[in-house]
């Protein structure tokens, strides 16, 4: 049973609602929010907890703090945890079973090591539209710049979120840009902004791609609900009909915004990982229904090794 030993309780701290989860296994907030899957969360450096990350998701500014196997979600109720944050944080899945499934499909020692060293990563289930737009922005970009662009777009077209009571849980990096306190814009608001308005926010060549995606979602040509029901292969083809979306961006959006856990984005890093650790016959499909999680483990593992060697 998933999270059978997790105790969920509601507490109050400085007037805000907090969900306290005790007995959480295979969850590492630092790895979850620092593995390149999300662009709105950053670390709260002066936290009283071992680790804490804060950001906007689903129209709320929350923070996720951790001390050992105890996790705190600030600015959330138990009802919201059950309906939104449990799924968002991947706490509705048994990662012990997932890891065993991945390892049963391969005897590759690097994959075994990657699963071990990356333990604690969970795939976030982000807002689908935000994931599509964010990964369009990610093209030929680095993470700090992606975050700045997402914040700029949110400031221009999103809505300010309520920070009441969260003063002690704001990520340090967010204080430099007011857009970090705004919800991600709707497709309709980006259509109203137009290509010129998007370009003025320094999105560059991506402006026309964002505009095209927003237009297709607004018109129903791209049906986000329909994507949920598609196979991953069909969904990749479907999203690639949007101007500027290729297989890598489509796979990222599907993995992080639609919980298509077999989606396997291949970027420069992963190409290097495959060439380094796998033979020329390797196919992502060989890693089964959780290939996307395996990809995140391999991505984090290689980054970890690079930082250790550096």
pLDDT digits 0-9 by tens, 27-63: 999 999 998 899 999 999 999 999 999 999 999 999 9
Give the pLDDT band (50/70/90) at residue 309.
low
Neighbours of 1 (CB within 10 A): 5
What average pLDDT does the chain have? 95
**Considering its fold, how many domains does the chain have in total?**
2
Residues 252, 133 share a domain: yes
Residue 268 domain-assigned? no
Give the pLDDT band (50/70/90) at residue 268.
confident
Give the pLDDT band (50/70/90) at residue 303.
confident
Closest CA to 175 of 15, 61, 30, 29: 61
Residues 58, 132 share a domain: no
Residues 146, 65 share a domain: no
CATH assignment of the domain containing 134: 1.10.340.30
Residues 252, 132 share a domain: yes
Residue 273 domain-assigned? no
pLDDT for the residue 151 = 98
What is the edge-to-edge ordering of all strands in the sheet holding 7-13?
7-13, 16-22, 70-74, 60-67, 51-57, 41-43
Residues 137, 225 share a domain: yes
pLDDT for the residue 1 = 44
Residues 220, 137 share a domain: yes
Note whether 24 and 93 are within 8 A (CB): no
Q: What is the pLDDT of residues 86-113, one digit of tens each?
A: 999 999 999 999 999 999 999 999 999 9
pLDDT for the residue 4 = 61
Note whether 251 and 221 are within 8 A (CB): no
- CA atoms of 297 and 290, how far apart (whole Å): 11
Note down the domain range covering 78.
Answer: 7-92
Question: What value does the mean pLDDT take over residues 272-278?
Answer: 93
Residue 106 domain-assigned? no
Closest CA to 39 of 160, 167, 141: 141
Residues 132, 253 share a domain: yes
Residue ranges in the chain assigned as alpha helix (H) = 29-33, 78-80, 86-88, 95-104, 109-117, 128-137, 143-157, 187-200, 206-219, 224-229, 232-239, 247-257, 268-277, 291-309
Residues 12, 78 share a domain: yes
pLDDT for the residue 280 = 86
> 240, 257, 274: which is the final residue of a domain?
257
Q: What is the dihedral of CA 145, 149, 150, 154, to 10 degrees?
A: 150
Q: What is the pLDDT of residues 129-184, one digit of tens each?
A: 999 999 999 999 999 999 999 999 999 999 999 999 999 999 999 999 999 999 99
């Amino acid at each position: 049973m998933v999270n059978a030993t997790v105790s969920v309780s509601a507490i109050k701290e400085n007037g805000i609602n907090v969900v306290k989860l005790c007995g959480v296994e295979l969850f590492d907030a630092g790895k979850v929010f620092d593995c390149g899957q999300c662009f709105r969360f950053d670390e709260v450096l002066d936290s009283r907890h071992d680790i804490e990350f804060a950001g906007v998701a689903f129209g709320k500014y929350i923070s996720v703090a951790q001390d050992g196997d105890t996790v705190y979600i600030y600015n959330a109720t138990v009802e919201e945890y059950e309906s939104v944050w449990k799924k968002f944080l991947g706490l509705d899945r048994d990662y012990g079973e997932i890891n065993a499934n991945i390892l049963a499909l391969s005897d590759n020692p690097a994959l075994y090591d990657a699963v071990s060293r990356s333990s604690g990563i969970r795939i976030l289930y982000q807002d689908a539209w935000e994931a599509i737009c964010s990964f369009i922005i990610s093209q030929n970009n680095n993470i700090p710049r992606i975050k700045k662009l997402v914040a700029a777009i949110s400031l221009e077209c999103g809505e300010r979120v309520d920070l009441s009571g969260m003063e002690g849980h704001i990520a340090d990096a967010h204080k430099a840009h007011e857009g970090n306190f705004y919800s991600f814009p709707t497709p309709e608001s980006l259509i109203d902004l137009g290509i010129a308005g998007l370009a003025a926010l320094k999105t560059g060549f991506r402006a026309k791609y964002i505009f095209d995606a927003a237009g297709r979602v607004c018109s129903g040509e791209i049906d986000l609900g329909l994507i949920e029901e598609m196979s991953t292969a069909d969904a990749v083809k479907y999203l690639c009909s949007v101007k500027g979306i290729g297989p890598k961006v489509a796979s990222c959006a599907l993995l992080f915004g639609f919980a298509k856990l077999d989606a396997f984005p291949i970027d420069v890093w992963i190409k290097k990982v495959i060439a380094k650790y796998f033979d020329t016959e390797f196919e992502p499909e060989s890693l089964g229904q959780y290939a996307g999680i395996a990809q995140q483990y391999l991505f984090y593992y290689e980054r970890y090794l690079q930082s250790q060697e550096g």
